[in-house]
Amino acid sequence: MPNYRRTNVKGGVFFFTVVLQDRSSNLLVEQIDRLRWSYRLASERHPFETIAICVLPDHLHALWALPENDSDFASRWSLIKSNFSRGIAPERRSQSQLSKREKGVWQRRYWEHAIRDEDDFDRHIDYIHFNPVKHGLAARVADWQHSSFHRFVERGLLVADWGGDVRDMPGSFGE
């Protein structure tokens, strides 16, 4: 197995995709209050700024800015994932999961990407906000409630009809 190394950019801005073990699950939206609590607790212990976020039934996307001289997003995700998992009945677990004291709620790894420039930043915000439409969960970005899109609209950074209405567009937007 290759020696995988996470990006180490102190004070960086990062895009993340974090996924449940069971991709058919709706656990993240069913337990949205538990996720918010876990997220808030991690942020209080190890501050970071959430620039954009979208929670879907089985995964979430987030764009974070870490404090200056801090590159440790791994501890933050570990706290979020472990606190969220506490109190949730474990699925059938492998020997490896048992030995690592994992409940089998989350996939072990997650995707992170260090934002390179302003265009990269803007593209990832758009990707985060359009994701519920892409997955067929909403016809309009504004229809999905578990997204920072609404905060962007309130601040005047995006218009309420940003992304349009897929019911008015030909073609498919799935993965």
Q: Which of 101, 104, 82 is nearest to 35 (CA)?
A: 82
Query: Confidence class of residue 169 from pLDDT cuts 50, 70 and 90?
Result: low
DSSP SS3 for 17 = strand
Q: Which of 134, 156, 140, 138 is nearest to 61 (CA)?
A: 134
pLDDT digits (tens, 9 = 90+) for 3-21: 555 677 888 999 999 999 9
Domain count of the fold of the chain: 1
The residues that bridge with 16 in the sheet, in sequence order, are 62, 112
Q: How far is CA 74 from CA 101, 150, 154, 167, in A?
A: 17, 27, 31, 39
Distance CA 112, CA 16 (A): 5
Q: How much is the pLDDT for 103? A: 54
6 within domain boundaries: no
Q: Which residue has the higher pLDDT, 1 or 11?
A: 11
Q: How much is the pLDDT for 8? A: 76
121 within domain boundaries: yes
Q: Find out whether 99 and 58 touch, Cβ atoms under 8 Å.
A: no
CATH of the domain at 19: 3.30.70.1290
pLDDT digits (tens, 9 = 90+) for 102-134: 457 899 888 999 999 999 999 999 999 999 999
Q: Provide the domain limits for residue 24.
A: 13-168
7 within domain boundaries: no
38 within domain boundaries: yes
4 within domain boundaries: no
C-alpha torsion angle, residues 59, 57, 145, 173 (rounded to 10) = 80
Q: How much is the pLDDT for 92? A: 57
Q: How much is the pLDDT for 1? A: 45
DSSP SS3 for 153 = helix
2 within domain boundaries: no
Q: Rounded mean pLDDT of the chain?
A: 87
